[in-house]
Amino acid sequence: MGLGGPCQLAIMRHGVLAICAGAALLSWHAGEAAEPVPPGEAEGVVFERQQIMTKLDEDADKLGKVVAGLLPGDQLAPAARAVAQGARESVEAFKHHVSGGRSKPEVWSSNADFSARMEKFATSAEAMAKAAETGDKAAVLGLMIDALPCKECHDTYREKKRP
């Protein structure tokens, strides 16, 4: 003989409450990742994102020149810190789901993958910046591939330049 009456109703009620709580938690977490942008500000978000990426490209170029010995070694830590800061800013800049610029639609349709790649990029760049504080160019060089995955991500998520 199965559970009847009040026991069965209580079990069902707890199941429904668990499902509702799970749905609420998922919607809160998804909402956290996609911050709304007020009307008329989308263009500014895209512009800011482009500025961050342009500066990041310049900082990565400078870091490469320091590691290659084309710029003084005392620029290693500041250049690596600038890359790490730009990487973290780029993660924040893509929290607003605003299409535009050269971002492919896949940035939004595959956002979990894109966001995971961006977070790994920022974390790796921060580790590289920490290694740069020691002045060890070889250690920085060893971390640069993970800390600067630009091409791999751009091949997947960025449109090519238009002529």
Asked if residue 146 lies in contact with residue 124, where contact means CB atoms within 8 angstroms, the answer is: yes
Q: Which pLDDT score, from 0 to 100, does residue 8 have? A: 46
Res 32 pLDDT > 50: no
Structure confidence at residue 78 as a pLDDT band (50, 70, 90): very high
Res 158 pLDDT > 80: yes
Question: Is pLDDT larger for residue 8 or for residue 82?
Answer: 82
Residues 6+ apart with CB under 8 A from 42: 98, 100
User: What integer is the mean pLDDT of 1-16?
Assistant: 44
Per the listing, tokens 């310049």 go with 58
Res 63 pLDDT > 70: yes
Res 59 pLDDT > 60: yes
Measured CA to CA, the distance from residue 87 to residue 60 in angstroms comes to 10
pLDDT tens per residue, range 100-148: 999 999 999 999 999 999 999 999 999 999 999 999 999 999 999 888 8
State the amino acid at position 11 in one-letter form.
Answer: I
**Helix, strand, coil share of the chain (percent; to 5):** 75, 0, 25
Share of residues in the chain with pLDDT > 70 (%): 79
Q: Which of 111, 89, 93, 96 is nearest to 157 (CA)?
A: 111
Residue count of the chain:
163
Res 11 pLDDT > 60: no
